[in-house]
Chains A and B, each alone.
Chain A
Amino acid sequence: MKLLTKLIPRNFNLDLAYFSFLALTICIFSGLILSFHYFPEKPLLSVVNLEATVPFGKFYRALHYFSAQMAVISLFLHLLDALRLKLFLVKSNRGWFFLGLSLPILLYLAFSGYILRGDETGELAGSIAENLTSSIPLLGKPISNLFFAISQVGVHRVYLWHLYFSFLLLTGLLLWHISLNRVFSYLKFFYLALLFLPALFFYPSLKPWGNLQARGPWFFVGAQSMLKFLDERFVFFYLLLFPFIYQAFVIWKKNPTPLFWILIAYLGLYLIFSLMGI
């Protein structure tokens, strides 16, 4: 831990937080533009049309995609670094609660974005999510119907939650976690460049299955790998565990060491499965 403190720059956590927020904001604004051209009853056609007919359509989609990926990565690192700095000792309970909740919400957004592309891999991801949620005893079907219901109504519900959760996340962060004054005082051109440049040079392609295999979004590869060997209900609960472990740091703030080890084991296992799936 001491070595980490020496290696990591002093303002690293704040930089991550700022970068993550900036990425999320850009993602939401680029998403707003995309939403004018997206029709959930024809998802794939909307995406293809957007790229073919809308001026800068391809760029907006790439910006939306890459800023979302950056937001996920930087938020995850921000969460981990907040633990390293033991910020649960100083942050308000509400602020910490929303920080812990922001990752699952953002992951749902990124995952639903993957489904909304409407290509073959997106369809498969949607089917997995729907069936995985449905496999939960008693509450599975209603939850699946609420958030997915793809086999019944296509991507309509996923699209609506994609919109609702984006604004919920942004509003929640602004109300309970971030100070806007601080954000504006921290504006760095370098971060903006880092978010815009990948969209200029790379393109998130619409792909069919490769080698008869479908992996899903990169952060879901571990879950896909787990599903090959473990019961789907176990995998579902495993995926839900992270925010609970994270919130537990506030409850056991006086003796957090066992929680650190639990979190390391939890993430380590997921990493192993992810590597197996690559």
Chain B
Amino acid sequence: MTRRGILKLIGFGFLGTLGYSFLRAIMHLSSRPPKRVYLPSSEIEKIKTKLLLGEDFILVKEGEAFLGFSRKCPHLGCKLNFDPQRNLILCPCHGSRFTPQGKYLAGPAKKNLKPLQLSLSERGVTIEITN
């Protein structure tokens, strides 16, 4: 191999390494820490339809107990909505349907809603939202 050939190879190797490190650096993102949402009892008492849609969560009142779910559809992450007439949680993008208890009914999601950890106290409910 000629001197020029070797230098070319080293040049490409250098550029490749640089490109790889650059791509690695911009593709890496550290995941967000979990978010905690606190709902005081006064807010919970306002739930009239047994279900509360938060920005990132769904809070369901089951008698005296509570269930919490992520508001992201397990299919492609669309923000879920609630249809009070049919008493169903619906995905507005691809039509997946879930019961208010988070059970999968129909559509492309094929999974139940992701449950969230709840901490109940006399003052209210704390919901831990993970990614």
Mark A residues whose CB is within 8 Å of B: 120, 123-124, 127-128, 130-132, 135, 142-143, 145-146, 149, 151-153, 209, 212-214, 216, 224, 227-229, 232
New A-B pairs, 17, CB < 8 Å, besides A142-B27, A143-B27: A120-B79, A127-B76, A128-B77, A135-B76, A142-B23, A145-B26, A145-B27, A145-B28, A146-B23, A146-B26, A149-B29, A151-B77, A152-B31, A209-B92, A228-B95, A232-B75, A232-B76
Q: In the complex the two chains form, what is the Cα distance from A228 to B96 in whole Å? A: 8
Contact B27 A214 (CB under 8 A): no
Helix, strand, loop or mixed for chain A's interface?
helix
14 contacts between A and B (CB under 8 A): A120-B79, A124-B92, A124-B93, A127-B76, A127-B77, A145-B28, A146-B27, A151-B32, A152-B32, A213-B95, A214-B92, A214-B93, A227-B75, A228-B107
Contact A132 B83 (CB under 8 A): no
Do A127 and B79 form a contact, CB below 8 Å, given A142-B27, A153-B29, A228-B107? yes
Per-residue interface assignment for chain B, residues 65 to 82, with 1 indicating a CB less than 8 Å from any chain A CB and 0 otherwise = 000000010011111010
Choose among A123, A153, A227 the residue with the greatest number of B CB atoms under 10 Å from its CB.
A227
- Residues of chain A within 8 A of B29, CB atoms compared: 145, 149, 152-153
Q: Closest chain B residue to A230 by CB distance?
A: B108
What's the nearest-Cβ distance from chain B to residue A130, in Å? 7
Task: Say whether B58 faces chain A, with CB atoms less than 8 Å apart.
Answer: no
- Residues of chain B within 8 A of A145, CB atoms compared: 26-29
Contact A123 B79 (CB under 8 A): yes
Task: Say whether B36 faces chain A, with CB atoms less than 8 Å apart.
Answer: no
Q: Closest chain B residue to A132 by CB distance?
A: B76
Q: Closest chain A residue to B30 by CB distance?
A: A152
Q: In the complex the two chains form, what is the Cα distance from A142 to B95 in whole Å? A: 28
Task: Say whether B113 faces chain A, with CB atoms less than 8 Å apart.
Answer: no
What's the nearest-Cβ distance from chain B to residue A44, in Å? 14
